[in-house]
Chain A
Amino acid sequence: MTTADWDHRRVGCDALVAEQPVSRAGGTSTMKEIVMSKLEFTINDLRRILREGAGTDEEVDLDGDILDEDFPALGYDSLALLETSARIAREYRVELDDETVTSAQTPRELVGAVNAALATTPV
């Protein structure tokens, strides 16, 4: 079982449990927040959010090997990346500053930046 599979099973836990407040050092969080905060952000998550937020160019195979493609070659401009980062930020409850996002040239760099932010975001 891969890490991604395991994480998806964890996210799929009972919604009632997920919304229960949990006291932790530094404040109260819900179970869902804790689980979400530990979720690894993957290239498939990025693919889904790009599709939802910015759409897909017909000539581009987003499901192909895109990790090291430049965003402009995939049809995404800086505004598309801003919209994408806003969606990542609210879904994963992570702070992403605009510069971090727009300086990412490729999906690999953006995925890395999101995971770095996830690792340092306090829960």
Chain B
Amino acid sequence: MSESIAITGLGVAAPNGLGKRDFWKSTRDGRSGLGRITHFDAAQYPSKLAGEVPGFDARSYLPGRLMPQTDRMTRLALVAADWALADAGIGPAELGEFDVGVITASSSGGFEFGQRELQSLWSKGGRYVSAYQSFAWFYAVNSGQISIRHGLRGPSGVVVADQAGGLDAVAQARRQIRKGTPVVLSGGMDASICPWGWVAQLASRRLSTSEDPESAYLPFDARAAGHVPGEGGTIMVLEDAEAARLRGATGYAEIIGYAATFDPRRGSGRPPGLERTIRLALADADLDASAVDVVFADAAAMPELDRIEAEAIEAVFGPYGVAVTAPKTMTGRLNSGGGPLDLAAAALAVQDGIIPPTVGVEPIEDYHLDLVLAEPRSARVRVALVLARGHGGFNSALIVRAPR
């Protein structure tokens, strides 16, 4: 068995494009999917912008039996899983049922579904709560429904670590493949743009209150004042790279390094964990920092968090030492879907030799970042580093390399 894990299939649902092709075209072209919330009336809320996945008609993709029992995030995850399997060119029928696992990340669970049922409980009573509430709003429901739909009974589970969780889930999938499971569906999908989900996100005090989609989410900019949340993510097929090659699949990229740390308590005097996370991931990949061609930044757009990230990147790569980008300026932050969507963009950047841009940002000069701005940059991309941080102190870093 080889040490690396291949990404052989991608299923993408993003605010600037439903499906891998639309997402990547929009992302290369710098087209944003941020706008005023349409899923509910946000007029009375301090934050009114979001990245909503366009044109998703679940009924045209999924059996009717799944509709009454699924939240929007699960419908997106199920369709993305279908696309990922098709993209990888493997059907569960070709594999034993215990040869495929499902390990996804989640941040909030099925909040829109849960809100509706809780409203029924308060207003009408327990008899009016759907039996499907028993699982439809749980963190693990996307993994469970993907597993049931395709009869996948390999190692499965869910990882919860806010925005860092998506990379952590992919890393857990990597562990299971190394232990002998041939294929794992992984990634993350979140969609909680509903009043309950919105209030929960507002409580983080990290949401932008701007009403201008073009200047609401500006990481590394002097105007940075929070982010715009989005919905969506990526479900991907991961396989042992050698096994994938044997069946003739080259894959988009190989996962060769990963690390996760947790920030020290505030006021402890110890440094934040992000720089160490990057160094540990490089060590895991057995790479020198100079081998990295692009960094997909976490891009929190909170001044202190931006400074911490810029300092970590400068400490490891030197001033202006590596191309940095944040295509999530076009989608918003997708919680558990954010890391996997960046990973999809990194894999496509490796494949196409194009670094997608960061839109709208005028970076603070003191950050010494070579931020890819406004236009996509043509570049030989052999190695990409993806960073993700979750609220509460989660730091994760994952490194991909072009297939050998």
Chain B 159-171 interface mask (CB, 8 Å, partner A; 1/0): 0000000000000
* B121 on the A face (CB < 8 A): no
Instruction: List which B134-163 residues lie within 8 A (CB) of chain A.
Output: 134
* A65 on the B face (CB < 8 A): no
| Bound Cα distance A83, B132 (Å) | 8
* A57 on the B face (CB < 8 A): yes
* B404 on the A face (CB < 8 A): no
- The answer to whether A54 and B68 have CB atoms under 8 Å apart is yes
Q: Tell me the total A-B contact number using a CB cutoff of 8 A.
A: 37
Chain A 52-63 interface mask (CB, 8 Å, partner B; 1/0): 111111100000
* B266 on the A face (CB < 8 A): no
Contact among B67, B127, B128 for A55, CB-based, below 8 A: B67
| Bound Cα distance A80, B131 (Å) | 8
**Which secondary structure characterizes the binding site on chain B?**
helix
Measured between beta carbons, the chain A residues less than 8 angstroms from B127 are: 86, 89-90
Interface centre among B65, B66, B68 (most CB of A within 10 A): B65
Measured between beta carbons, the chain B residues less than 8 angstroms from A82 are: 131
**Which secondary structure characterizes the binding site on chain A?**
helix
Please give me the residue from chain B that is nearest to A51 by CB atom: B64
* B130 on the A face (CB < 8 A): yes
Measured between beta carbons, the chain A residues less than 8 angstroms from B248 are: none
| Bound Cα distance A56, B132 (Å) | 15
* B269 on the A face (CB < 8 A): no
* B91 on the A face (CB < 8 A): no
* A75 on the B face (CB < 8 A): yes
* B63 on the A face (CB < 8 A): yes
Measured between beta carbons, the chain A residues less than 8 angstroms from B65 are: 54-57, 75, 80
Chain B 372-395 interface mask (CB, 8 Å, partner A; 1/0): 000000000000000000000000
Instruction: List which A32-66 residues lie within 8 A (CB) of chain B.
Output: 52-58
* A25 on the B face (CB < 8 A): no
Measured between beta carbons, the chain A residues less than 8 angstroms from B69 are: 54-55, 79
- The answer to whether A83 and B68 have CB atoms under 8 Å apart is yes
8 closest pairs, A vs B, by CB? A83-B131, A55-B64, A55-B65, A82-B131, A56-B64, A55-B68, A55-B67, A90-B127
Residues of chain B at the chain A interface (Cβ within 8 Å) = 63-69, 127-128, 130-132, 134
